[in-house]
Amino acid sequence: MDDRPLALVDEHAHTWSPAQARARFRKGLAGPTAGIAAGHTQANLISVPESWAYDMLLFCARNPKPCPLLDVTDAGSWTTVLADGADLRTDLPRYRVWQDGEVVDEPTDVLAHWREDLVSFLIGCSFTFEWALTGAGVPLRHVEQGRNVPMYVTSRQCRPAGRLHGPMVVSMRPVPPEHLGAAIRESSLLPAVHGSPVHCGDPSGLGVDDLGRPDFGDPVDAAPDDIPVFWACGVTPGAAVMASRPPFAITHAPGQMFITDARDEKYRVV
């Protein structure tokens, strides 16, 4: 599979419109979406059978930090109010298809796997607040290095909901000490896309043993004085799928998001 960052495929990818980005993904282009269609909100995707939809809705309501809901579709629908004309079955770079808590396929579209009883949940993504971090002068090491953001499964358990349970997943960005205040401030103004960090500093406080071995994404080289800063991550529902083992689910591949038509500023509270 080709997981090269899209910025390396096209240095102008940040200038693509959301529709242009989705059209490229529909044709099979895959890779992490950080920095793509800059200024437009990105979203995590999880689709579950209607019989599990209330459990997922309750799981998101009880765990709003890692699972901030942006939209929920009707059963069988592959459209969303977040993107006119988009198709949730084809317009993400890469998907994961799950059966009984195991990944059975990682296609670039899920037309062959789609079911008429699927309810899709679109969940805020921390890529959305990266424009605010950049605007405040906070360096983004994963973007600088052309890598997917590193993500880690933590020892913190989410609040269970019905049949769903599992650990919180976090994304990590190394932040220079002089930019830490700005990183916390700017992200806290965007609660719909995870908001402020859940932890700063020693990763053992989250049960993470080795930053060089993320559970998802790529390891990132930090500067000597950088502080690891952790935000709740929308891969958390995928971790709940692994833990709870529903019979079927579809998610985005970590770091490969759905790009909406919404502007990032829409979710800023100030």
Q: Which of 126-130, 136-140, 204-208, 236-240 has the lowest mean pLDDT?
A: 126-130
Do 42 and 128 form a contact (C-beta atoms < 8 A)? yes
Do 223 and 194 fall into the same domain? yes
Q: Looking at the structure, tell me whether residues 26 and 75 fall in a common domain.
A: yes
Residues 244 and 117 in one domain: yes
Average pLDDT over residues 21-41: 91
Residues 13 and 90 in one domain: yes
Give the C-alpha separation, 78 to 60, whole Å: 20
In a domain, 122, yes or no: yes
CATH code of 20's domain? 3.40.1640.10
Mean pLDDT of the chain: 93
Dist. CA 168–CA 41, nearest whole Å: 22
Count: domains in the chain: 2
Kindly report, residue by residue over 76-91, the tens digit of the pLDDT: 999 999 999 999 999 9
**43 by DSSP, 3-state: which?**
strand
Instruction: Decide if 95 contacts 106 (C-beta within 8 A).
Output: yes
Report pTM: 0.91
What's the angle, vertex CA 60, arms to CA 56 and CA 66, rounded to 5?
130
Q: Is residue 26 part of a domain?
A: yes
Question: Are 118 and 159 part of one and the same domain?
Answer: no
At 123, the pLDDT band (50, 70, 90 cuts) reads very high
Structural domain range at position 28? 8-127+240-264
221's tokens: 């080289």
